[in-house]
Amino acid sequence: MSEELMPDKNGRFGIYGGRYVAETLVPALEELSEQYELIKNEDKFLKEFKDDLAHYVGRPSPLYFAKRWTELLGGAQIYLKREDLNHTGAHKINNTVGQILLAKHMGKQRIIAETGAGQHGVATASVAARHGLECIVYMGEEDIKRQSLNVFRIKLLGAKVVGVSSGTSTLKDAMNEAMRDWVTNVDDTYYIIGSVAGPHPYPQIVRDFNAVVGEEVLEQSKSVIGKDPDMLVACVGGGSNAMGLFYPFIEKKNVRLIGVEAGGLGLSTGKHAAPLNDGKEGVLHGMRTYLMQDDAGQVIETHSVSAGLDYPGVGPEHAWLKDIGRAEYESADDQEALDAFKELTRVEGIMPALETAHGIAYVKKVAPTMDPNQSIVVNVSGRGDKDINTVASIEGIEL
């Protein structure tokens, strides 16, 4: 295996990935690839990126030993990678800090983005504000309803939120609309995709900018755990926080990589967002990957309690890691995620995002089956403040 070379020059991870877009965007994507390859190893760019990660985002984020939770579960030692402590509250900011520098390097004046839970919208609006660039965020009308807090945050940051009511009015439709904007305004606009998804080179760019998460864990494990962790766990929607954590560990075959998809109402009900568990190969949003679709090739509606995982596709590198058996993909359903959300909050005083809670739910299941000399690092990809309304409404509480 030559993971270091992935994606190949055509943007493929095995058979996945690629660049399935209308011709108008092909030259724009080629330009993006060229510019990215040009600056990604430049000292000036790397210094600026690292400075921003340190002083704007607040990196490195701690690798925290969850002592009480470890005792409660009674198995493997559990460590939390605290991406929830980043500025704006999630791992999403790592990528936007990098991409906005790329946008400026390319002389683009207008920034667009799609968002599901609103975290990527907030992260994009924040860096656009900081660099004084116009910013438009596309968001499904359904998500606008369930993530009203983040919608308001995005507006306060000076960005414009455009509601999308086509299709299922969720993240996938927001991404369609952002693509339509980009194709129309391709000369002056930079599209900051928020996950390791979309046409090449986005899965690569977003992975590289999030890889700081895994690189820090690699380093921190030495002193905090004293050895490599035995297992890494992260939730997977599009898969950016998982890819960022996994990537620096791909060659370390002694470390198990576990992605946790949204099981929604249960895999057997079909109402979920777990394409790696229960989808099949297809093409959407410019990439070949696993998709939730029917026999006629129509993308089907997904379900998850967390808006950020409510996406019918998944990053192509995950599809590839699944097929070659390097990473394993599990699922946690809505109820398991809600239970995990509450447990981590009560036991450690750390309130995870509902997306993150899917990874937490898997740790709840797997840790007790493991030996106390073993260790798990789970990525707390975001904090749960944005989900308080959702959790309250499920409990029938009016705030």
Partner 1 sequence: MSSKIKEVFSKVHAQNRKALITYIVSGDPDHKTTIDIMHAMVGEGADIIELGIPFSDPMAEGVSIQKGHERALEKGASLNDTFELVKEFRLSDKKTPIVFMGYMNTFESLGAKLFMEKAIAVDLDGILIVDMPPEESSDFSREATKANIDIIRLIAPTTSSSRAKKICSQCSGYVYYISVKGITGAANLDADDVKDKVSELRLHTDLPIAIGFGIKDAASASSVKDVADGIVVGSVFVDLIGEADNIIDKVSLKTKELSEVLN
Q: Active-site residue numbers?
A: 92, 114, 381
Does residue 173 bind partner 1 (CB under 8 A)? yes
Q: Could you tell me which residues come within 8 angstroms of residue 87 by beta carbon, excluding any fewer than 6 positions away?
A: 56, 57, 58, 93, 126
Amino acid at 112: I
Which one of 58-66, 107-115, 165-173, 349-357 is the stretch in contact with partner 1 (CB under 8 A)? 165-173
- To partner 1, the closest distance from the beta carbon of 22 in angstroms equals 4
Does residue 18 bind partner 1 (CB under 8 A)? yes
Which one of 20-28, 79-87, 252-260, 334-342 is the stretch in contact with partner 1 (CB under 8 A)? 20-28
Do the beta carbons of residue 57 and residue 90 sit within 8 Å?
Answer: no
Does residue 19 bind partner 1 (CB under 8 A)? yes
* Cα-Cα-Cα-Cα dihedral sign, residues 192, 287, 330, 227: negative
**Cα gap 258→245, rounded to integer Å:** 10
Does residue 162 bind partner 1 (CB under 8 A)? no
* Cα-Cα-Cα-Cα dihedral sign, residues 50, 54, 57, 63: positive
- To partner 1, the closest distance from the beta carbon of 98 in angstroms equals 25
Residues binding partner 1: number (CB under 8 A): 37
Which one of 173-181, 229-237, 303-311, 324-332 is the stretch in contact with partner 1 (CB under 8 A)? 173-181
Does residue 373 bind partner 1 (CB under 8 A)? no
Dig out the tokens for 373 from the structure. Answer: 């000399």
- To partner 1, the closest distance from the beta carbon of 185 in angstroms equals 8
Judged by CB under 8 A, the residue of 14, 62, 163, 167 near partner 1 is 167
**Cα gap 41→107, rounded to integer Å:** 19
Dig out the tokens for 302 from the structure. Answer: 């997904």
Which one of 130-138, 176-184, 233-241, 340-348 is the stretch in contact with partner 1 (CB under 8 A)? 176-184
Site for partner 1 in 264-303 (CB under 8 A): 282-286, 291, 293, 295-300
Site for partner 1 in 125-154 (CB under 8 A): none
Does residue 166 bind partner 1 (CB under 8 A)? yes
Which is closer to partner 1, CB of 9 or CB of 253?
9
Dig out the tokens for 5 from the structure. Answer: 């070379």
What 8-state DSSP symbol labels residue 259? E
Judged by CB under 8 A, the residue of 92, 108, 146, 172 near partner 1 is 172
User: Can you tell me whether residue 22 is helix, strand or coil?
Assistant: coil
Which one of 84-92, 115-123, 164-172, 385-393 is the stretch in contact with partner 1 (CB under 8 A)? 164-172
Which is closer to partner 1, CB of 169 or CB of 304?
169
* Closest residue by Cα to residue 197 from 220, 214, 223, 174: 174
Which one of 24-32, 70-78, 110-118, 133-141 is the stretch in contact with partner 1 (CB under 8 A)? 24-32
Site for partner 1 in 177-206 (CB under 8 A): 179-180, 183-187
Which is closer to partner 1, CB of 212 or CB of 292?
292
What 8-state DSSP symbol labels residue 61? P
**Cα gap 282→270, rounded to integer Å:** 18
Does residue 23 bind partner 1 (CB under 8 A)? yes
User: Can you tell me whether residue 185 is helix, strand or coil?
Assistant: coil
Which is closer to partner 1, CB of 296 or CB of 399?
296
Judged by CB under 8 A, the residue of 21, 80, 217, 309 near partner 1 is 21
- To partner 1, the closest distance from the beta carbon of 235 in angstroms equals 24
What 8-state DSSP symbol labels residue 86? S
- To partner 1, the closest distance from the beta carbon of 188 in angstroms equals 11
* Closest residue by Cα to residue 365 from 345, 343, 383: 343
One-character DSSP codes across 263-286 = EET-GGGS-SB-HHHH-EEEEETT
Site for partner 1 in 231-250 (CB under 8 A): none
* Closest residue by Cα to residue 307 from 126, 141, 153, 83: 141
Amino acid at 396: G
Does residue 27 bind partner 1 (CB under 8 A)? yes
Does residue 176 bind partner 1 (CB under 8 A)? yes
Do the beta carbons of residue 261 and residue 331 sit within 8 Å?
Answer: yes
- Residue 270 burial by CB count (10 A; 0-12/13-18/19+): exposed, middle or buried? middle
Site for partner 1 in 312-371 (CB under 8 A): none
- With b for 16 or more beta-carbon neighbours within 10 A and e for fewer, the 36-70 pattern comes to beebbeeeebeebbeebbeebbebbbebbebeebb
Q: What are the residues binding partner 1 (CB under 8 A)?
A: 10, 18-28, 166-167, 172-173, 176, 179-180, 183-187, 282-286, 291, 293, 295-300
